[in-house]
Amino acid sequence: MSESSINPLALYRTMLTIRRFEERCNYLFMQGKIPSTLHLYIGQEAVATGVCAQLRPTDYLTSTHRPHGHAIAKGVEPRAIMAELFAKATGCCKGKGGSMHVGDMRVGMLPAIAIVGGGIPIAAGLALAAKRLHTDTVAVSFFGDGAANEGAFHEGLNMAAIWNLPVVFVCENNLYGASTPFDAVSRLPDVAARAAAYGIVGDIVDGNDVSAVYEAAGRAVARARAGGGPTLLECKTYRQCGHSRSDPRTYRSKEEEAEWTKRDPIQLLAGRLLEAGQADQSALAEIEQEVVALIDDAVAFAEASPAPAPEDALQDVFW
Amino acid sequence: MTQMTIAEALRQAIREEMQRDERVFCIGEDIGITGGFGGAFTITLGLSDEFGHERILDTPIAELGLAGVAVGAAIGGLRPIADVQYGDFLFLAMDQIVNQAAKLTYMSGGTVKVPLVMRAPVGATQRGAQHAQSLEAFFTHVPGLKVLAPSTAYDAKGLLKSAVRDDNPVIIFEHKRLYGSKGPRSVEGALSPIGEVPDEEYLVPIGKGAIRRAGKDVTIVGKLLTVYRALEAAETLAKEGIEAEVIDPRTLVPLDKELILASVRKTGRLVIVEEDNLSGGWAGDLAAIAAEEAFFWLDAPIKRVSAPDAPPPFAPVMEQFYVPSAERVVAAVKALF
């Protein structure tokens, strides 16, 4: 499939995979089968899906503490992600990472970086390597609105700009950094407006509209690949669940949540596909079945996998 | 053999590694600007003429960002030698060094390597509290980092070359009073030892210490500048009939523990000299290792000669009081007999 024209059903399938994967994770977490906590991506699927559909397996990705969607969209095996969440030896980080560090360099995704903003200068460095090694590889860094106030954001974007690096900075503005609304921590309402401070292109897109994300990401990735330098792409979206599993969401109104649920990215795409005659209900149901089977398989794999040996904690400290 | 300063030896190491491997590059502040300093202590002086500004890459004053870019570049297949002008500025880059560089190999289950070298000048040189600290213990505490502390030109060159070829993040601490930097970047009161460096290619292996002076009565461990303080003390002690063995670990992580313990088992006495603050310092850690593993060979308590628990002062008279002197080492040793 070429990067310029993609079957919207493929986007639908990826978004639905992320959604069903995370719903299952939440269920398994409630059952006590997944330890620790989870930062669910539900509601933001269009961003990871639209951006990653423009990337090649060799393109680099840095992610955040909310990485499941990015990992699935970039092509990390759902089995390996699920096994990691189950703290199994077969996980994509051999059980050393957990939910907040999933990734797989074989598909270009660094272990997710759970320090807010930490991946931004690293993505610039990956892009620097790509440029110096004369590949046409592009680096993408996903981060939230909260990261836009980190020093790493300023330092990373500035360096990417002065060296004209092939990198796309994707800000998923889901309106809250944990419980803090973005308008309480930024006088500018748009993160993308800050692109002007670095002399790079800033773009704002409806992050719940996968087609819009796909197109905007296409422009940014093409610019990077062609030597046109970095882009700051802001995707306005909404995290439908709490910040983590322990968040009762008492800092935002039910009305606000309902408004965004009406604009659910998967429902939005499904409606469009049906309306445009690009899919009928049976086609969507078929994708649903395939996705559920994929996740059943991932869970079965994770459950059947061995736990790491306790002393494996001492492996991989050094290369 | 060529006689050279540590600054020259480091520059030669960088030059050779950059000639050997196209992927090696330097990244830092004021390191390659034409007409500029060549780094705060002239280590990269002239290298941008030789290798160009893409490979002697000047950054904005942004230590966190440059460390992060270096981490990403290392993962992406380059071999960065990053440089902070003063070691104290590493604190601005702590997230990238401690949370990212040191942990990405581990977090990835051993699938991501971060072949990053970070050079950091340490030591008090009449610049007050924020350009003078000895930071070794902060970083020896972090699993996943290798930590080097060369005290001679030979080791500086050989260890830096080994660091560039290592597939792990390596921090190399360099003492400002040992560089021998010349011209306007020279350091007041510097020791600037000049040493012999072979003309042919060589490496100093990471993880091997060196006995700088053989002796049978007491083991003195120093690093960086305090190796020289220990050697000076040993000469004084010899005149009084005490033969000190002086050990320079050269590498702090991984530590050549056996070399030190074998010496302690032989002499029965251990004095550790460092410029870092006493509490939570590297000396305390080494003392614990010796207490755990060589206790029954000890004839006297282990002594630490460190900077006191105060920030580095500015006034030369206070700074001299603050940095461990040969006299303090002599007194510490004599108290054990």
State how far the Cα of A174 lies from the Cα of A182, in Å rounded to an integer: 9
Taking contacts as CB-CB distances below 8 angstroms, the residues of chain A near B143 are 317
State how far the Cα of B81 lies from the Cα of B70, in Å rounded to an integer: 8
The residues of B that are catalytic are: 131
Taking contacts as CB-CB distances below 8 angstroms, the residues of chain A near B25 are 132
Taking contacts as CB-CB distances below 8 angstroms, the residues of chain A near B52 are none
Asked if the C-beta of B107 comes within 8 angstroms of chain A's C-beta atoms, the answer is yes
Averaged pLDDT, B139-153:
98
Range of the domain at A62: 8-305
Taking contacts as CB-CB distances below 8 angstroms, the residues of chain A near B66 are 121, 155, 159
3-state secondary structure of A187: coil
pLDDT score of A245:
83
- H, E, C per residue of chain B: CEEEEHHHHHHHHHHHHHHHCCCEEEEECCCCCCCCCCCCCCCCCCHHHHHCCCCEEECCCCHHHHHHHHHHHHHCCCEEEEECCCHHHHHHHHHHHHHHHCCHHHHCCCCCCCCCEEEEEECCCCCCCCCCCCCHHHHHCCCCCEEECCCCHHHHHHHHHHHHHCCCCEEEEEECCCCCCCHHHCCCCCCCCEEEECCCCCCCCCCCCEEEECCCCEEEEECCHHHHHHHHHHHHHHHCCCCEEEEECCEEECCCHHHHHHHHHHHCCEEEEEEEECCCCHHHHHHHHHHHHHHHHCCCCCEEEEECCCCCCCCHHHHHHHCCCHHHHHHHHHCCC
User: Residues B119, A122: contact at Cβ < 8 Å?
Assistant: no
pLDDT tens digits in sequence order for chain A, 319 residues long: 344 578 999 999 999 999 999 999 999 999 999 999 999 999 999 999 999 999 999 999 999 999 999 999 999 999 999 999 999 999 999 999 999 999 999 999 999 999 999 999 999 999 999 999 999 999 999 999 999 999 999 999 999 999 999 999 999 999 999 999 999 999 999 999 999 999 999 999 999 999 999 999 999 999 999 999 999 999 999 999 988 888 889 999 999 999 999 999 999 999 999 999 999 999 999 999 999 999 999 999 999 999 999 999 999 999 9
Residue A316 lies in a domain: no
Asked if the C-beta of B77 comes within 8 angstroms of chain A's C-beta atoms, the answer is yes
Is the pTM here over 0.95, yes or no?
A: yes
Q: How far is A79 from chain B (nearest CA, A)?
A: 16
**Contact criterion met (CB < 8 Å) for A97 and B107:** yes
Report the Cα A263 to chain-centroid distance in Å.
19
The string over A99-136, giving b where at least 16 C-beta atoms fall within 10 Å of a residue's C-beta and e elsewhere, is: bbbbbbbebbbbbbbbbbbbbbbbbbbbbbbbbbeeee
Residue A315 lies in a domain: no
Domains of chain B: residue spans and CATH: 2-197 (3.40.50.970), 210-334 (3.40.50.920)
pLDDT higher than threshold 60 for residue B275: yes
Shortest CA distance to B313 belongs to which of B160, B136, B129?
B129
Asked if the C-beta of B59 comes within 8 angstroms of chain A's C-beta atoms, the answer is yes
Question: With left for phi above 0 and alpha for psi between -120 and 50, is residue B331 left, alpha or beta?
Answer: alpha
CATH of residue A262? 3.40.50.970
Angle at B66 between CA B311 and CA A191, to 5 degrees: 110
Taking contacts as CB-CB distances below 8 angstroms, the residues of chain A near B77 are 129, 133
The model's pLDDT over B172-211, given as tens digits with 9 standing for 90+, comes to 999 999 999 777 777 777 888 899 999 999 999 999 999 9
Q: How far is A116 from chain B (nearest CA, A)?
A: 10
3-state secondary structure of A231: strand
Asked if the C-beta of B109 comes within 8 angstroms of chain A's C-beta atoms, the answer is yes
Residue A1 lies in a domain: no
Strands A176-177 and A180-181: antiparallel
Taking contacts as CB-CB distances below 8 angstroms, the residues of chain A near B99 are 115, 118
Residue A284 lies in a domain: yes
The model's pLDDT over B110-140, given as tens digits with 9 standing for 90+, comes to 999 999 999 999 999 999 999 999 999 999 9
- Token pair, residue B325, equals 């002197």
Total of domains in chain A: 1
pLDDT score of A84:
98
Q: How far is A125 from chain B (nearest CA, A)?
A: 4
Candidates A96, A155, A159; nearest CB to B107: A96
3-state secondary structure of A147: helix
Candidates A91, A121, A162; nearest CB to B96: A121
Candidates B64, B78, B167; nearest CB to A152: B64
The model's pLDDT over B53-107, given as tens digits with 9 standing for 90+, comes to 999 999 999 999 999 999 999 999 999 999 999 999 999 999 999 999 999 999 9
Angle between helix axes A281-304 and A8-30 (nearest 10 degrees) is 40
Asked if the C-beta of B117 comes within 8 angstroms of chain A's C-beta atoms, the answer is no
The owner of tokens 């949540």 is A257
Residue A279 lies in a domain: yes
Shortest CA distance to B192 belongs to which of B126, B292, B125?
B125
pLDDT higher than threshold 80 for residue B38: yes
- Token pair, residue A19, equals 């959604």
**Contact criterion met (CB < 8 Å) for B108 and A93:** yes
Residue A242 lies in a domain: yes
- Token pair, residue B184, equals 């306007």
- Token pair, residue A114, equals 């759970």
State how far the Cα of B224 lies from the Cα of B152, in Å rounded to an integer: 8
> CB contacts < 8 Å between A and B, how many?
150
Asked if the C-beta of B181 comes within 8 angstroms of chain A's C-beta atoms, the answer is no
Asked if the C-beta of A307 comes within 8 angstroms of chain B's C-beta atoms, the answer is no
Distances B93 to B32, B61, B101, B107, B120 between C-alpha atoms, Å: 21, 11, 11, 20, 12
**Contact criterion met (CB < 8 Å) for A110 and B75:** yes
State how far the Cα of B306 lies from the Cα of B322, in Å rounded to an integer: 9
Element holding A203 (H helix, E strand): strand A201-206
Residue A65 lies in a domain: yes
Residue A2 lies in a domain: no
User: Residues A157, A193: contact at Cβ < 8 Å?
Assistant: no
CA of B28: which chain A residue's CA is closest?
Answer: A159
**Contact criterion met (CB < 8 Å) for B71 and A139:** no
